[in-house]
Structures are given as C-alpha cells and as structure tokens.
C-alpha cells in the first residue's frame, strides 16, 4: 500500500527505457484516465503492432490499424477480467500466448508516506482502514508494464494532480506490481492462442 517510494524528482527516464514499451504504458494510462477515477483493475496484452496487422487484420482494423509497413511499436489490447479476485492474485496464474510480447497492469491504490509504515497494522482490513483515514494519504493510479525482452516501465498519476503533464514515468516505480507482471511473461508461452473479445485502448 505504501510501495511507490520514489518522488518525481528521483525517477528520471534513463537511457535504459524501452521507448516502445514506455509509449504503450503511457497510452494505456491516458486511455484509462479518460474514464476518471474509482475504476476496477485492468490488464492489457501488448502485441507487436506490425505482426497484429498481418495476423489479425479484422482486429487491427477495429483498433484503427491497417498498413503493416507503417505499423510500429506495441499495441495494447485490453483483456476481460472475470470474477472478484484481486488483480495481483490473477497475475500469479496467467500465462500469455507467444503472440503476446508484453503486458501492462493498471490498479488504483492509496499511498502513504514512508513515515506511516511504522504504524501500519499487519491485518489487511485494519491496514486498509488506517490508510483511508490517514491525513497524508494520496490516491494514485499505477500502470506497470513489461516485455519478454526484460524491459519494464511504469506510469503513476496522482488524483491530487490529475492532468497528463503530471504523470510520472520510470522503469521501476512499482517494484512489487512489476515483479508480478514480469512473472506472467517468464517461462514457455502458452501453445493455444484463443481468440477472445478484447477492447483496444
């Protein structure tokens, strides 16, 4: 709940940033932001745009993509999340097909200053109540993305500074969520590629 510890001044985008992943994560963040706050968690598959146009022309057309010769970068494709299980637990069981080269998870959280950790209760319900009542709490939206190639990127928007210019980006802003996202891309990809109803960002 208090995981993001870096301030905007501490997280400049370095040369190690994957520009395609960063662009996709920021695209996801901007898309989700259009619907406002108090949203459920979301999950996006990141697919190679040129390959998507070639392999799934109908889906690509629905996303406004058509020409594989000009299609570049990564395209986020929203996945349908069923049930009430927290996204963090769902991520523990996800295996992506080989056509998915990365993924991005979106969650809203309450963030407390580091000094509040000493008084944070161990029990989950009590910790949540403590965070909601803390005078220095901040509501944030976190987007954590990763690729099979090992690149990571995060975007963070604070509800108190709800504008695109104030969105913070960096490769390691949310280590815990990033770890779960990266784990879904480890190991052998799923062999069966099921065509699902998806919603592009």
Residue 57 falls inside a structural domain: no
Best CA proximity match to 146, nearest among 166, 164, 173:
173
Structure-token pair, residue 17: 């940033």
Structure-token pair, residue 96: 């992506």
Where do we find the tokens 């000094």? 115
For the stretch 151-187, pLDDT in tens is: 999 999 999 889 999 999 999 998 999 999 999 998 7
For the stretch 75-118, pLDDT in tens is: 999 999 877 888 989 999 899 999 999 999 999 987 755 555 65
What pTM, to 2 d.p., does this model score?
A: 0.78
Residue 29 falls inside a structural domain: yes
| 124 compared with 171, residue with greater pLDDT | 171
Residue 154 falls inside a structural domain: yes
Domain with 133 in it:
14-47+73-189
Per-residue CA distances from 180 to 32, 65, 125, 159 (Å): 20, 30, 22, 24
Residue 3 falls inside a structural domain: no
Please report, for the chain, how many H helices and E strands are present, in that order.
Answer: 6, 7
Residue 61 falls inside a structural domain: no
Residue 146 falls inside a structural domain: yes
Per-residue CA distances from 178 to 38, 90, 152, 175, 192 (Å): 21, 14, 7, 5, 25
Residue 176 falls inside a structural domain: yes
Residue 63: count of CB within 10 angstroms of its CB: 18
Question: Which residues, 6 or more positions from 27, have their beta carbon under 8 angstroms from its beta carbon?
Answer: 76, 201
Number of independent structural domains in the chain: 1
Residue 66 falls inside a structural domain: no
pLDDT grade, residue 64 (50/70/90)?
confident
Can you give the length of the chain in residues? 201
pLDDT grade, residue 36 (50/70/90)?
very high
């Amino acid at each position: 709940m208090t995981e993001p510890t870096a301030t905007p001044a501490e997280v400049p985008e370095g040369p190690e940033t994957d520009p395609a992943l960063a662009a996709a994560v920021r695209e996801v963040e901007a898309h989700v932001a259009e619907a406002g706050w108090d949203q459920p968690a979301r999950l996006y598959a990141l697919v190679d745009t040129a390959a998507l146009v070639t392999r799934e022309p109908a889906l690509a057309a629905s996303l406004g993509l058509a020409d594989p010769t000009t299609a570049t970068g990564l395209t986020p494709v929203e996945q349908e999340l069923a049930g009430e299980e927290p996204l963090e637990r769902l991520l523990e069981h996800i295996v992506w097909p080989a056509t998915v080269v990365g993924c991005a998870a979106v969650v809203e959280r309450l963030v407390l200053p580091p000094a509040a950790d000493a008084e944070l209760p161990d029990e989950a319900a009590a910790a949540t109540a403590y965070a909601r009542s803390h005078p220095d709490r901040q509501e944030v939206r976190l987007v954590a993305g990763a690729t099979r190639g090992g690149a990571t990127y995060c975007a963070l928007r604070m509800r108190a500074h709800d504008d695109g210019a104030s969105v913070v980006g960096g490769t390691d802003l949310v280590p815990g969520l990033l770890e779960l996202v990266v784990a879904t891309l480890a190991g052998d990809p799923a062999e069966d590629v099921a065509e699902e109803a998806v919603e592009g960002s």
